[in-house]
Structure 1
Amino acid sequence: MTDSDLGGRRNHGKRERPAAAAATVLHEQGVEKTTLADIARAAEVPVGNVYYDFKTKNELVEAAIETRTRGLAGMIDALDALPTPAERLKALIAGWVEQRDTAVRFGCPTGTLASELDKRADGLDATVATLMRALIDWAERQFAELGRDDARESAVALIAAYQGVSVLTNTLRDPELMSTEGRRLERWIDSMDRPLRRSGGASASHRARP
């Protein structure tokens, strides 16, 4: 390992705390209302450090998206350790439901950020779209393993259902909406899994709908 490698790692470590703080503060306050000083306060670092490591707010937004991306990768690794695709999908849904109180206050972290960035002309909307697409791609693999011949459509339907109920949960300030939708989605997954287990194939699974 060279000195330059060490320097790069130190710099990466210095940026991690502000980036993680940015992911949280941007979710809670939105991009427009958040300042670099807000990030410094949340990260408990001098504001000068944040200005040194991130020259613009856009750089901090990109770092926050990178933090969310790493979090998604870690979550997917944990889900992939489960033995069946139905269990993985239901664990994803359970994780969403566990965050219902956060959704009541702030909505979905990725969905709200994507909606806000879509109104800007700086290209960051495409960056956060990559994060959303990665989750859809993962869900598609699970539905394909369940034998769905419409795996992509099912994956989109699942993520769309979550995004939609997140908006309603936040708008109506009602966490039970998320719980109810979570139970419905779990029944949907079960309806696909049972025919597959009975027949040992996918002959009936394609008829299930969300």
Structure 2
Amino acid sequence: MTDSNKPGSAKPRVRAAADKRRRLTTEAARILHEKGVERTTLADIARAADVPVGNVYYYFKTKDDLVRAALSEHSAHLDTITARLEELADPRARLRTLIEAWIDQREVAARFGCPTGTLAVELDKRADGTLDAEAGAVIGRLLEWVARQFGALGMEDPEGLALSLVSSYQGMSLLTNALRDPEITAREGARLLAWLDSLQPQG
């Protein structure tokens, strides 16, 4: 009996395949953020993930499949962040910590912009698919989470406040990237923190 036929021998292969897919997905999210969809090749992602380029097609048939995987990575990252924030008892502290995380990422924003926002804008320019809607859905989930925090604080119009907060983030990320100036995010983030602290529950 060869090793490949021994009972249980398939498990290492399954784990290895899952690990390759995980590496490809992680690197797709990173490289697409840094280079954009049009300038990224499957070879770029394979090289970064240390996977032979021919093997990429076993996991992802097209670049769009990799873009979807990258969007799933963004969604999972959002879940991780919000789960950690939920450990804070106070919804206002959750929102403050979120804004502070944005400020901490200002150097990355200066170089590449917001990961999901820039991807959504680029995909919107394409006329051959629905990936822009999938990118928008990730931003929509962030809006919903932020609105729940404002609602938990008893604020009037939590959805409107969430829109103000997230659109401010997207705007400062865009300007930070366009002007290559991380201090824009630092200054505007401080304004957002002061604005958040000034809000009072209704009635």
Tell me the TM-score normalized by structure 1: 0.87
TM-superposition CA deviations, 1:38-72 (whole Å, max 9, x none): 00111111111212211100000000111111111
Number of the residue aligned with 2:172: 165
Q: CA deviation at 1:13?
A: 3.4
Question: Contact 2:20–2:49 at 8 Å: present in 1 too?
Answer: no
Indicate which of 62, 79, 96 corresponds to 1:90: 96
Distance 1:10 1:97 in 2: 37
Number of the residue aligned with 2:120: 114
Moved more, 6-15 or 122-131: 6-15
Number of the residue aligned with 1:59: 65
Unaligned runs of 5+ residues in structure 1 are: 197-201, 204-210
Distance 1:39 1:92 in 2: 29
Count of aligned positions: 193
Distance 1:119 1:151 in 2: 31
Q: CA deviation at 1:143?
A: 0.6
Distance 1:115 1:81 in 2: 32
Distance 1:142 1:98 in 2: 21
- Secondary structure of 2:67's aligned partner: helix
- Secondary structure of 1:32's aligned partner: coil
The letter for the 2-side match of 1:147 is G
Question: Contact 2:114–2:173 at 8 Å: present in 1 too?
Answer: yes
Distance 2:19 2:118 in 1: 27
- Secondary structure of 1:90's aligned partner: helix
TM-superposition CA deviations, 1:97-141 (whole Å, max 9, x none): 111001111111010000000011211011111100000000000
TM-superposition CA deviations, 1:10-57 (whole Å, max 9, x none): 644331100100000000000001000000111111111212211100
User: Cα distance 1:49–1:158, how it changes in 2: closer, same or farther (>3 A)?
Assistant: same
Distance 1:9 1:71 in 2: 22
1:166-185 alignment to 2 at 5 Å? 166-185=173-192
Number of the residue aligned with 2:133: 126
Distance 1:86 1:127 in 2: 29
Number of the residue aligned with 2:56: 50
RMSD: 1.7
Percent identity at matched positions? Answer: 51
Number of the residue aligned with 1:24: 30
Moved more, 115-124 or 7-16: 7-16
Unaligned runs of 5+ residues in structure 2 are: 1-7
Number of the residue aligned with 2:146: 139
Distance 1:124 1:12 in 2: 24
The letter for the 1-side match of 2:138 is L
1:75 counterpart = 2:81:
yes
- Secondary structure of 2:21's aligned partner: helix
Tell me the TM-score normalized by structure 2: 0.90
